Structure 1
Amino acid sequence: MTRVITFGTFDVFHVGHVNILERARSYGEYLIVGVSSDELNYSKKNRYPIYNEEDRMKIISSLKFVSEVFIEESLELKLEYIKKYNADVLIMGDDWLGRFDWVKPACEVVYLPRTPSISTSEIIEVVRKL
């Protein structure tokens, strides 16, 4: 059984999230998703997510093609997460292209294109202006 792992904040859940998770699942039979902690999101984006980590984990866990969900505490722990969950493939959005090639000795790394014209940050900005 091929085990796939991916990571994301998954805040203000939208069809782009569904698309990348469905495509990630197509690389194997078991999809593991690391949901960025509220603190990790703050360190990356200088803002807390709209939805807290528990709510975001519940949303991701409810998807039929997701097998397992956990909280990602640090970007630097990618290799440890890959080993802990025995992942064969790491899937990341192509906005991270090349940034995780250093884990290639442990697993295959695939960067998938994002869904065009959909961005959580843009959605948040539009809603704030309403």
Structure 2
Amino acid sequence: MEADHRAQVEELLAGYRRSREQLGAVHRKLATLQASATSEDGLVTVTVGAQGRLTELVIVDSAYRKLRPHELAATIVALTATAASKASRAASEAMAPVLPPDTDPDALLRGTADLTPAELKPEPPDAEETFEDLSWMRAGSKKR
């Protein structure tokens, strides 16, 4: 009987070690994950990390002559969103093998995995709370 118990403990420990190694591999992959997007004209390239944060921005010198500042800014924002979407898909794929079968990796990364649709809806503003009629220049608020 003690041998059975010892075998169960050893099996549990082996499973724990496998899971820990898998989780470590996923963590290392996420730490190095990057995704890039380049504009069609090749003037701008952005690179983001696993969480969609901009890590590198390359702007070809001629971009400043060909694009107006607001066009360049819009290009950078759009490319960053594209690269972040790619990074999110890659992160989801990296995490999927270590998650339970019914877990949505995208929802987990967004922080919404255990929330219901009702919990995700933004709360309506408090009808009682309005700042329309407030002024810092009211007569009663003068400093003396």
Is the TM value for this pair above 0.5? Answer: no
Structure showing greater radius of gyration is 2
TM-score by length of 1: 0.20
**TM-score computed with the length of structure 2 as normaliser:** 0.18
Q: Which has the higher helix share?
A: 2
Question: Which structure's residues are more often strand, by fraction?
Answer: 1
